[in-house]
Amino acid sequence: MPSYEWKGRDRHGNPQTGVLIGDNKDAVIAALRKQQIVVTTVKEKGKEIALPKFGGGVSSKDIAVFTRQFSVMIDAGLPLVQCLEILGQQQDNKAFQKIILQVRQDVEGGLSLAESMRKHPQAFDDLYVNMVAAGEAGGILDTILQRLANYIEKAVKLKSQVRSALIYPIAVVTIAVIVVYVILWSTSRTSSATSGG
């Protein structure tokens, strides 16, 4: 049986860490829950370093679109599992589709939305998960998702603007380097031809 390193907080909010042996991550989380520990991370020992999967990334744009659509559906009163099912089926990015459907499965299995999303840090960062957890606790998930969508959309727009703004100076510097190189090269050829003559 694999052993898992875990971090979490007890019911008084004190940080706790340890190692547990279990069939899988879910079994470890369930065992810790019985001990009234809120788990933040669980990692299988020896598997902390994972190589990145090429072509399996989730872009900020995908997250922004998903969050916006999710907030509208929740606001319309659709059940959580149904929202995730619909959004998962219509997702073009196969890696993200797999994540959404896995989250739906975990929610259906009894985990909270935030706990289900925490299992996929490649798509949902700590800020996102904590905001969702706050929304669930306060019963304002639709409002929180709208704010998250606004935040991510602004971040995507800003990143795009920065990228566009950098194209011109990079192009100018590249051309300048080429021109200087050509001038130096032609000067060295001229001087070698002169000295050779």
* CA pair distance 26, 35, nearest whole angstrom: 14
| H or E element that contains 63 | helix 60-75
Whole-model pTM? 0.56
Average of pLDDT values for 54-58?
A: 56
pLDDT above 70: residue 51: no
Q: Do 91 and 79 touch, CB atoms closer than 8 A?
A: no
Q: What percent of the chain has pLDDT over 70?
A: 91
Question: How high is the pLDDT of residue 197?
Answer: 53
Structure tokens at 178: 């080429």
Q: Do 97 and 88 touch, CB atoms closer than 8 A?
A: yes
Question: How high is the pLDDT of residue 1?
Answer: 60
CA nearest neighbour of 44 among 64, 62, 58, 23: 23
Question: How high is the pLDDT of residue 33?
Answer: 85
pLDDT: which is higher, 197 or 65: 65
pLDDT tens-digit map of 90-121: 888 888 999 999 999 999 888 899 999 999 98
User: What per-residue string of b and e applies to 49-82 under the rule 16 or more CB within 10 Å gives b?
Assistant: eeeeeeeeebeeebbbbbbbbbbebbeeeeebee
Identity of the highest mean pLDDT range in 32-46, 57-71, 172-186: 172-186
| Model confidence band, residue 53 (pLDDT cutoffs 50, 70, 90) | very low
Give me the amino acid identity at 65: V
pLDDT above 70: residue 183: yes
Average of pLDDT values for 6-29?
A: 81
The mean pLDDT value of the chain amounts to 85
- Terminal Cα distance for the chain, rounded: 82
